Structure 1
Amino acid sequence: MESKSIEEITERKSDAFEPLVIIEFTSGTKQAAIEWLMAHIQESKLDGGAELEVKMMVPQHQQATILYIGASLDRYLVSAEMMQMRKPHTAGDLREFTISDLENFKGSGEMSTFFTTAEKQKIILKELNSIRASEFDLHIPGYENYKLYPGKRIVKEYLRREVAVRLFPLHEEEFIDKLGKEWYMPRQCCSVQPIGKIQKYFGEKIAMYFAFLGLYTISLIPPALIGIIYFITYWRSVYREAIFAVFNLVWSTIFLESWKRYCSELSFQWGTMQSVVAKFEEPRPDYFGKIGKNPVTGKAEPVYPKLKRVLRFYLVSLPVTAMFLGIAFVFMLTYFWMQAWADNVYFKNKTLLQYPIIFAPTIVYAISIGILNAIYRKVASLLNDFENHRLQSSYENHLIMKLVLFDFVNCFISLFYVAFYLQDRALLRSHLACLLITSQVTGQIKEAMVPFFFVKRRSQQMERAMKKAASFKTGEGTPEVDYTVQKQASLESTMDQYEGTMDEYLELFLQFGYVFLFSSAFPLAALWALLNNITEIRTDAFKMCRIFQRPFAESASGIGAWQIAFEVIGLISVITNCALIGMDPEVQHLMPSSMSTVNMVLIFVAVEHVVLAVKAAVAFFIPDVPRWVEVEMARVEYQSKQALIKENVAASYRKKQMLRKMFLSKEN
């Protein structure tokens, strides 16, 4: 099929302005800074701009300038090709979009819906982040102290300096209403999540989180059922605990391997598998350094010495993390001192009114763990920014490493202390139950109830404010933006910004540890986690649709370093559960009295290795990639090679024809 030029394609476009992204300034922002940024957004790519469409409005009810940003169809097409965006092809697979092959992509007959809104917003963000300061841009206009250097990302600097206070994409009200009815409504509490629609609206990264949460919740059903059976029966034996522990350890491996397979299916369907994504990841927007040239791509980008990054990690990040680990250890010692005091008070005067005192230290300790975790998360984020990682994947992996290390110690150090130093099985069971239940209850209050009341109050406040604003002032030379869009932007500007999936994964990681690290001591842990996650899915969905501003869609091929973190917990669980069972007095009595301590340790090490071998065998016999995905990947690779061969043959034929014409002309 003959390819069409971009001019012919864009003849079908509508002239209507479609605002999809909002930049909001404060009422005190200098007009020179706003107009300078507008000029850069509208300038052509050749002149260093973003070549986007922008309109400026000043709502009367807040007197803060708002920029409404959209793009023309040709800008979307060119940017999608430059970003190597993958779209469904008529051949039945996902291929990198090219303008020359547009007619062979599904949906190209209706260009107004060819790109999803999430894809358009992703393109706009990419173009906004491409606006960099030139050598002539010394500072932000109107703010001489806000210095710029060549290559600095201007929009990011506006946000960092709080010259602009918000940058967010607009929701699609009709789509989000339909999605909400399928996702978070009470009658959908036990239904399958619409993962495909979540991916289409929020992007692959968020869809991966909800897919993982859904599979993890389902995988908790078998250990929860066994835990209930153990709770209601009278069988009390070390064999019972050993059977349950071995089942949990093997089952956790089956879950993680099943997730790998499911993740492979999703990433292939969405075109984000590692084998087919772009090989050269661009620097993240916040990466800074002197402008140089990428030795692989030849593109201009910031360059930062690796030695400086290493020194910042070892001389700053590592000592600060060690200091927080010390604080966590002091908190644990304080808790046990408080618990000893509470026990002493209760046993001196055993009354019903005094009974809650026994649990007060554990509840306070659980809450303090959450507070310390929240403080360290902010510190870890600042440390990660300070290290200045080039790639977003590297940035996230280092942040995950910091958070996992600290939260593991902060949340589980007291459990290890009780299990292996005090060796008190009853205290371990009650302490684990109290920590798990308290963290889940406080989490549900913080994540579900509080945001629900806040969003209702915000909606009422904004409705009153919008009624007072009968009209909107428009910047010179710019047409008005539809009132409905202005109202929507004003309402969504009051919503909380979505901070990403990091905290959500960390919460699941800690819960996974509570369930499996000491499963032989508290079989009901899986039941509590299951009940929490059933509501967690719906509350998280409600927040995504109604509480948070819409996040920009991000690509993802999996859950990243979190996969390794969960697998490490699975390995540590083998050691902790084998040690718990081995230290049980009933097991000690089963051993010959003449057996030395060394021989007993060797026996339990051998048992531990047997369980590890079983886990390894299970992981080995469950392929990470389903067979049908392997076949489809091979088919795509084959078709790509055939297309390349066909193109080379056609080029060779054209070259021969040209040479033949040259020879014929010479003979004549």
Structure 2
Amino acid sequence: MGSWTAIRCQCCVMPTIQTLAVMRLRESIKPETKKWLISVLETPANPGGAQILVHPGEDDEDDILLLSATECLLLQATERLGLAKADHNKSITTFSYKNKNHFLNSDKINIFLTLAEQQFLLKYEVENLKILQETCLPGYPKYRLYPGQHIVHFLQKWGIIVKFYPIHDKEKLNNLQKRWYKEISLAPQPIETVRAYFGEPIALYFSFLGFFTLSLIAMVLLSYIPAFLQDSSDKYIIFAVFNVLWSTVTLELWKRHSATKAYFWGTLNLKSYIKLPRAEFWGTLIKSPITGRLEPHYPHWKRKMRICFVTVPSVCIFLGLAVDGMNMYLYWETWIKKWYETNPSNMAALGLYLPSICYTLFMEMLNSAYMRVATALTEYENHRLESSFQNHLTIKVLVFRFINCFGLLFYITFCLQDLQLLRKRLSSLLIVSQVISQFKESLLPYLKQRLKLDPVWVKKGKVDTYPFIDEVVSEGDMFSYPGLFDDYMELLVQFGYVSLFSSVYPLTAALLILNNITEIRTDAFKLCQIFQKPFSYPEANIGIWQTAFETLGFLSVITNCFLVAISPEIQAVCKKYEVGPEKILLYMLAAEHILIILKLFLAFAIPDKPAWLHLKVMQMEYRSQEAFKKMPRQDIFN
């Protein structure tokens, strides 16, 4: 069996080397290709290498590489990416390698950097490895690399590198699982431990899930207020106003909460790092006017043509299917009501819920099919950066999910004005959709994983005798983590149900709390046991999802004002005092404008950052400016 790369830096000599990530190569990869890749990865940075610690697996003919990094490399990468860390004064400051002794625990790498950070920094260094001289890929002369091209990116594109993934630390994982979901307790989630192990994006998601669930308790308590009211018409007004204020306060307080988290995590003012092209991006190789190197180029006008003539029509077709589904549901609902009136019985009463259940199933199937189509369409558009790809995919899915999930509810509210049907539809969505979601997200992947063949690595007719290698390869055989898109989308839909329509169905918040308590544990379980450990990346907030939640918050003003206006109790009061439809409309518009102004006032009155945090950020920026002034001139321009 081979050995790790020799450590050249004496200050980085370690008694044991922890494997951070694994590269799975093409089966039966040629030995000269593997040796060349190892040499490039472990070559010092000055000659153009990555200075990564590499272990060749069992021998030079195996299709696996174990990767790690020295302490110096990780600290230098921390400085390059602008991560902030606590200094000896316990202030969060942008890390400086030259002044590393000024930072807490900088001499203890496993305390100074979390496992997720170490794995991300390793990934960053590996993916930024560039070729210096034009060369053919050893063992595969048909593949040619040109100066400035990212080596790993093209090896992944050509199928030489099949998988590149971080690996678990079993001891840390077991401790996390025990605290997170195995023990039944009322203790809060171990968000700091989750962040240390899985990184900021996943920690922010679970933190937001817990924050949102906790905020729903206020909605549940509010549902008991009508029992103490003599006038039942007041309950609609109270619920409507509270919904509008609740959505605003919840999102503004979350901004403060996430900003505080990001400050202590050192990602609040993170400078942007160079983002590589997606492995799937393709184009004609031309000389870049910026770098002067050969880089793939795809014209913007071609991408726009694909969006206009392929993407937009395809999305419209699915929107048409969603509208057709609504029409079929409404037709079936009307028909079965008439049938029940002529044939009243217990069985017929149960049949009243059949259209709603079937339509919910149709929605879930259409959502699933559209997600695959939207992903394929976004791939077809050929976006260069992963951020651009994710933004276009998010917009496509948000538009469709909004129509598919809320379109019928809006139609029932504004066109049919049938509050009884609206309650019935909401109850079906909250129960059937959540059951389907839990099955699809957790139980189904678990069953698929259990039914897969034994992942122990069998090769050339014999089982490997190296347990650690077997374990590492087994992790690579697990399903790739699908990301947080569907999880955030589910929360967005929940937020919409609560903020838009819960004034007519107060049980909404209670049902969502029960669902989310389970959701936290099932999401944690699938992350720890079902999927590969994902690479993390620095993150300060939930990004575009914050905007999506705030948009629903503004829509809730219109919906709640209209629901108040059409409620039977309010209609009875208006009839009693001879208030006509025109005046009701004027009162509704006036209330809507007042609530929007109130929302804007609350958003302005609640700062995005606490006062102490704002002061800390200003201090950090001042120290960074002073450090920049003291830098030698040659260091500034290097």
Say if 1:591 and 1:346 are closer, same or farther in 2 by CA, change over 3 A: closer
Q: 2:360 aligned to 348, 359, 366, which one?
A: 366
In structure 1, what is the Cα distance between the partners aligned to 2:27 and 2:629?
60
- Is the 2:412–2:418 contact (alpha carbons within 8 Å) kept by the matching residues of 1? yes
Which position in structure 2 is the counterpart of 1:664?
Answer: none
Name the counterpart of 2:275: 282
The aligned amino acid for 1:486 is I
Q: 1:253 touches 1:615 (CA, 8 Å); kept in 2?
A: yes
Deviations 1:20-71 (A, max 9, x none): 2112245465666555544543445456543323333369xxx972222223
Give the whole-Å Cα distance in 2 for the aligned partners of 1:236 and 1:445. 43
3-state SS of 1:166 partner: strand
Distance 2:28 2:325 in 1: 44
1:355-396: CA deviations, max 9, x gaps? Answer: 433222222211221222122222222333344445544443
SS of residue matched to 2:202: helix
- Would the alpha carbon gap of residues 240 and 99 (structure 1) be closer, same or farther in structure 2, given more than 3 Å must change? closer
For residues 287 and 100 of structure 2, the distance between their equivalents in structure 1, rounded to whole angstroms, comes to: 35
Cα deviation 1:624-651 (Å, max 9, x = unaligned): 11011012112223333444566689x9
CA distance in 2, matches of 1:303, 1:608: 49
Residue pair 2:288, 2:295 contacting (<8 A) in 1 also: yes
- Matched residues, number: 623
> What does 1:184-203 align with in structure 2 at a 5 Å threshold?
184-188=181-185, 190-203=186-199
Q: Which residue in the other structure is 2:523 paired with?
A: 540
Confirm or deny that 1:620 pairs with 2:604: yes
Q: 1:121 aligns with which of 119, 122, 143?
A: 119
Q: 1:591 to 1:538 in 2, by over 3 A?
A: same
Q: Secondary structure of 1:495's partner?
A: coil
Aligned to 2:265: 270
Residue 110 to residue 163, structure 1, CA distance change in 2 (3 Å): closer
Q: Deviation of residue 344 (structure 1)?
A: 4.6
Residues 106-505 of structure 1: pairs in structure 2 closer than 5 A:
106-111=104-109, 114-132=112-130, 136=134, 142=140, 144=142, 153-160=150-157, 162-188=159-185, 190-227=186-223, 237-273=232-268, 276-279=269-272, 281-286=274-279, 289=283, 290=285, 293=288, 295=290, 304-453=298-447, 461-462=454-455, 471-472=464-465, 483-505=466-488
CA distance in 1, matches of 2:353, 2:435: 15
For residues 64 and 499 of structure 1, do their structure 2 counterparts lie closer, same or farther at Cα, with a shift above 3 Å needed?
A: farther
**Partner-residue secondary structure (3-state), 2:56:** strand
Cα distance in structure 1, aligned partners of 2:331 and 2:35: 61
The 3 A distance-change label for structure 1 pair 258 and 339 is same
- For the 8 Å contact 2:148–2:293, the answer to whether it is kept is no
3-state DSSP class of the match of 2:54?
strand
2:85 matched residue in structure 1: 87
Structure 1 vs Structure 2 CA RMSD = 3.5
Give the 3 Å change call, closer, same or farther, for CA 366–153 of structure 1 in structure 2. farther
Give the deviation of 1:129 after TM superposition: 1.7
Distance 1:133 1:385, change over 3 A: farther
The alpha-carbon distance between structure 1 residues 361 and 302, as it changes in their structure 2 partners (threshold 3 A), is same
How much does 1:498 deviate?
A: 1.1
Question: In the TM superposition, what is the alpha-carbon distance from 1:263 to its structure 2 partner?
Answer: 1.1
Cα 1:471–1:646 change in 2 (3 A) is: closer
TM-score by length of 1: 0.83
Range with greater deviation from structure 2 (555-564 or 44-53): 44-53
CA drift at 1:207: 1.0
- Per-residue CA deviation, residues 492-542 of structure 1 (Å, 9 max, x unaligned), is 123221121111111100111112211222111111111111111111112
What is residue 661 of structure 1 aligned with on the other side? none
Distance 1:140 1:309 in 2: 35
- In the TM superposition, residue 161 of structure 1 has moved relative to its aligned partner by 5.4
Partner of residue 54, structure 1: 54
Q: 1:91 offset after TM fit, Å?
A: 3.7
Give, as a single letter, the amino acid of the residue that structure 1 aligns with 2:182: M
Partner Cα distance (1:639, 1:134) in 2: 37
Amino acid at match of 2:79: E
> Conserved in 1, the CA contact under 8 Å of 2:117 and 2:536?
yes
Structure 1 contact 208–559 (Cα < 8 Å) conserved: yes
Give 1:111 deviation, angstroms: 4.7
Question: What residue in structure 1 maps to residue 3 of structure 2?
Answer: none
Alpha-carbon distance in structure 2 between the residues aligned to 1:114 and 1:591: 66
Q: Is the 8 A contact 1:140 1:147 kept in 2?
A: no
Matches of 1:355 and 1:102 in 2, distance apart? 72
**Distance change >3 Å, CA 84–CA 637, structure 1 → 2:** closer
Give me the whole-angstrom Cα distance separating, in 2, the residues matched to 1:375 and 1:235: 49
Instruction: List runs of 5+ in structure 1 lacking aligned partners.
Output: 1-6, 473-482, 652-668
**What residue number does 1:579 align with?**
562
Hey, what's the Cα distance between the residues in 2 that align with 1:597 and 1:349?
37
Aligned to 1:475: none
Identity %: 35
Task: Write the deviation string for residues 308-327 of structure 1: whole angstroms up to 9, x where unpaired.
Answer: 44444333332222222112
* TM-score calculated relative to the size of structure 2: 0.87
Distance 1:299 1:261 in 2: 43
What's the counterpart of residue 639 of structure 1?
623
The amino acid that maps onto 1:206 is I
Which residue of 2 is the match for residue 603 of structure 1? 587
Report how far residue 471 of structure 1 moved: 3.9
Provide, for residues 250-300 of structure 1, a one-character-per-residue CA deviation record: whole Å limited to 9, x for no partner: 111110110011011011111212xx22156534544555465585x9998
Q: Which residue in 2 is equivalent to 1:657?
A: none
Match of 1:3 in 2: none
Q: How many Å apart are 1:623 and its aligned residue?
A: 1.2
SS where residue 100 of structure 1 aligns?
coil
Residues 517 and 577 in structure 1, CA contact (< 8 A), matched pair in contact too: yes
- Structure 1 residues 578 and 137, CA gap change in structure 2 (3 angstroms): farther
Q: Hey, what's the Cα distance between the residues in 1 that align with 2:349 and 2:151?
A: 60
**Cα distance, 1:439 vs structure 2:** 0.8
| Distance of 1:90 and 1:578 partners within structure 2 | 54
List per-residue Cα deviations over 1:601-637 (Å, max 9, x = no partner): 2221111111212222222221111011012112223
Shift of 1:562: 0.6
Letter of the 2:511 partner, please give it. W
Q: Deviations over 1:170-192 (max 9, x none)?
A: 0111111111122112423x321
5+ residue gaps, structure 2, are 1-6
Distance 2:141 2:370 in 1: 33
The structure-2 alpha-carbon separation of the partners of 1:139 and 1:575, relative to structure 1 and needing over 3 Å to count, comes to farther
Query: What's the counterpart of residue 4 of structure 2?
Result: none
Q: Is the 8 A contact 1:400 1:562 kept in 2?
A: no
- Aligned counterparts of 1:328 and 1:452: Cα–Cα separation in 2: 30
Q: Secondary structure of the equivalent of 1:497? A: coil
Question: Which deviates the most, 632-641 or 514-523?
Answer: 632-641
Contact 1:283 1:301 (8 Å CA) reproduced: no
SS at match of 2:93: strand
CA gap 1:69/1:590 in 2 versus in 1, 3 angstroms: same
